[in-house]
Structure 1
């Protein structure tokens, strides 16, 4: 399986082909095997936002939330959701998780 995006770079905008989700790549590192990761939403690979088909209308329950950052299991890929959608984000078939917020320092 090959990714429609050869190598994701920070700033790349990706869109889902099955729902209204859109993301921006925040961080992307080369993988150990040299292959670009397959970034998918709702089980279907994401495509560059400029070449994405019109988004389907209607979004009952959002699984991908606007303004949230998602990371892969190894922490090498980070995406920022710019438009929510019903599909879940995944990288190489593994579900991506919400990035935890950094705790603020105590101000005693």
Structure 2
């Protein structure tokens, strides 16, 4: 799939919804719960379930990022499936430390 900044995607198996904050160049395989993400305005296929090993959930308001490709997603609706890029689970983006105010 080709991702664009600002595009909204949803999981086909749970409530997860994300917005693309930074998009990688080229095609990627982005999944949630073991199934490809679909555009936010489309309806999921009935009967799909989360694949075993693709659980872990997403957290509302958190960013998920892959430094190797530059992909960054913002979770706007939490769910029970785990986000993955090209078969590798996406980690939470770590916060930047604030400067000391001594």
Q: TM-score, normalised by structure 1?
A: 0.79
Match of residue 101 from structure 1? 95
Q: Choose the corresponding residue for 1:77, options 68, 71, 75.
A: 71
Following superposition, the deviation at residue 53 of structure 1 comes to 3.1
Q: Choose the corresponding residue for 1:53, options 44, 47, 56.
A: 44
- Residue 19 of structure 1 aligns to a residue whose secondary structure is coil
Q: Choose the corresponding residue for 2:13, options 8, 18, 26.
A: 18
**Cα distance in 2 for residues equivalent to 1:84 and 1:65:** 5
Is the Cα contact below 8 Å between 2:13 and 2:44 reproduced in 1?
A: no
User: By percentage of residues, which structure has more strand?
Assistant: 2
- Aligned residue pairs total 95
Q: CA RMSD in A?
A: 2.2
**Deviation >6 Å, runs of 4+:** none
Which runs of 5 or more structure 2 residues have no equivalent in the other structure?
Answer: 48-54
- Residue 4 of structure 2 aligns to a residue whose secondary structure is coil
